[in-house]
Amino acid sequence: MISARAYPYLLLPLLFVGAGCDSSLGSANTAPLKNNSTDATAQKVSKPVAPFKLAVPPELPGAVNGYILRSMETDLLIATAKFAAEKGKYELAAIAQYWYVRKTQKGQYAMACYLAITKQIEPAFYWLQKAAIEEGVDAKHAERDEDLETLREDVRWNQVLSYIQECNNYFEKADSFKTILLLPRGYTKSVAIPAVIWMHGLDSSPSDLLTEAFQKYADQLNVALIGISGTKPRGPNTFAWAEDIDKDSDRIREALAVASDQVTIEKGKIITLGFSQGGQVGLELAARYPEEFAGSIVLSPRAASHLQSIQVSPLLASRRFVISCGALENRENLSLVKKDNEWLVNAKAEVLYKLYPRVSTHALPADFLERFPEWVIFILNRKRSREFKA
């Protein structure tokens, strides 16, 4: 295998859990958590059939400019695809993404995007149809995704879009929600502890971030880490949030009820930790229900905003929030984080607000693993522990 260390200049932040063509992670080999619980009440529903029977596209080159892509590690492949796309080299992005898909059976939507941008219409439709039923694609996002513009100009688009919607309905009826729980080692349910709720981005899953590697944070911070899948299942392991405060808060409460068999959560000490769509939804939940939430960590939010419809509670003056975004992310993102910050400041909440200079990638901050415990300590208004002293 070619090691990532051999090509350090290709690496991008790999903790990526966002929407659109960049929703794939280099985490295909992560072992399942032992205390991963799935609250599933699957129903028997007819599986949608793709409208077009398309031939399997030919294999893409295994080597480009001396780089043997077919032999690269999956993390390096996905980083290469993202890096190439950032630089506008979509043909290279498609090739790297192709070998990532071959190795992991993930990232098919991104594959369709890269091919559509380079006007490879037939294979793009092939991978889009495949992604809809095997991974899950949000129909509303596909309908407005700029990367799929060439496909929307094709006469087959409306039928494919209807198929994606049918797949959405199919997975929603399957009702296969997931809740992941990480507790401090030695924890006993009789003790109430704070909880950090991980809220993923569009078309992602709680397991995209909350793996066994996070056990150390549960131990050192003495908190429960709870990964909750979104309100709308989009595939076997991909979900979206409704962007409806009532529906999303119901989903969170249902998941916490599942977790309550194993953990007692301290009253008013829940923190939402969210990225992209999950970031904005988590922020709005914490802002609307400050009696339940201590605050929120909001990373590159990307979703419809409903803050103006929330009645400001006096409790927000004692709540804390963290908001961050890449300083060069798209205008929509930057406008949203600015408005989020202004609303919270006007509500008298304490806010840590940071734009990462020269960062355009819609991804978790490069220093996320370092800052995460500091942000939790800040929101819980704790003194900094020895383990995380700067």
Q: For 6-75, give the DSSP string.
A: G-GGG--------SGGG---S-TTPPPPTTEEEEE-----PPP--S---PPPPPPPSEETTEEGGGB-HH
Q: Which two tokens stand for residue 65?
A: 């400019």
CATH 3.40.50.1820 occupies which residues in the chain? Answer: 175-388
- The one-letter amino acid code at 144 reads R
Q: 110, exposed or middle or buried, with CB in 10 Å at 0-12, 13-18, 19+? A: buried
CA distances to 221, 352, 358 from 330, rounded to whole Å, are 34, 21, 12
Confidence (pLDDT) at 384 = 56
User: What are the residue ranges in the chain where pLDDT is below 50?
Assistant: 1-20, 22-42, 385-390
Alpha carbons 189 and 16: distance in angstroms, whole number: 33
Q: Which two tokens stand for residue 237?
A: 């392991």
299: enclosing H helix or E strand:
strand 293-299
Confidence (pLDDT) at 361 = 86
Angle at 99 between CA 26 and CA 131, to 5 degrees: 75
Confidence (pLDDT) at 119 = 98
Nearest to 6 by CA among 83, 71, 63: 71
Alpha carbons 207 and 23: distance in angstroms, whole number: 13
42-173 maps to CATH 3.30.390: no
Alpha carbons 228 and 225: distance in angstroms, whole number: 10
Angle at 187 between CA 185 and CA 189, to 5 degrees: 150
Indicate if the alpha-carbon torsion angle 250, 255, 256, 258 is positive or negative: positive
Rounded-to-10 torsion of CA 168, 206, 16, 143: 10
CATH 1.25.40 occupies which residues in the chain? Answer: 42-173
Topology of the domain covering 175-388: Rossmann fold (3.40.50)
Confidence (pLDDT) at 278 = 98
- DSSP letter string, 154-192: STTHHHHHHHHHHHHHHHHHHTEEEEEEE--TT--TTSE
Confidence (pLDDT) at 21 = 54
Q: Which two tokens stand for residue 369?
A: 């693993």
Q: The pTM is what?
A: 0.79
**In whole angstroms, how large is the CA radius of gyration of the chain?**
21
Confidence (pLDDT) at 46 = 86
CB 19 within 8 A of CB 304: no
Give the tens place of pLDDT for each residue, 172-201. 898 789 999 999 999 999 999 999 999 999
